[in-house]
Amino acid sequence: MSERPFSVLILCTGNSARSVMAEALFDVLGKGRFVAYSAGSHPSGTVNPFAVERCATLGYDTSKLRSKSWNEFATPTAPLMDFVITVCDNAAGEVCPQWRGTPMTAHWGFEDPGAFEGTDEEKRKVFDKVFRQILNRVSHFANLPLHVLDRNSIQQEMRAIGERPASETNE
């Protein structure tokens, strides 16, 4: 693949929880190998505070997290994308814009922790669970030897990661 950092765009409908947590995880776990972005087909306009809490535990600069439209990444001046990953079933079923570059795509579905209703402590537990699931998948992908794999192999790995049960841990 490329010598530059890989660009990855993580998509969800609201861009308020799962996709922003994945953005932070790619940036942190990728250790400079990835530049991550997140966006939504119908952005909520705010990032869920429980998602911000989880990202902060990584030491991630949460001030740059914001809920934004995927249209920002479909312009002629948008970054070239290497990978596009949907993390919610709704976004996976929508017709996406045309991305710059020829990104490889995959769907890594996770339950929506932002939809959970309960006490703050119960919400934190759901966010913790989904965060760990995203962490497992991002970690698996970030540890692939992308510099030696061909495009077809990377695409197969991306899809295989998404087909693993979200609760499955790294081996």
Catalytic residue, chosen from 9, 11, 85, 88, is 88
Identify residue 58 by its one-letter amino acid code: L
CA 78 → CA 41, 70, 96, 108, distances in Å?
16, 10, 15, 23
Whole-number Å distance between alpha carbons of 115 and 1? 38
- In 3D space, the residue among 39, 45, 42, 107 whose CA is nearest the CA of residue 74 turns out to be 39
Catalytic residue, chosen from 9, 12, 21, 92, is 12
Residue with tokens 């693949």: 1
Catalytic residue, chosen from 28, 58, 74, 96, is 96
Strand 83-86 relative to strand 34-40, pairing: unpaired
Calculate ∠ Cα 50-138-15, nearest 5°.
40
Q: What kind and span of H or E run contains 49? A: helix 49-56
Whole-number Å distance between alpha carbons of 110 and 86? 10
Judge whether 12 counts as a catalytic residue: yes
Name the residues annotated as catalytic: 12, 88, 96
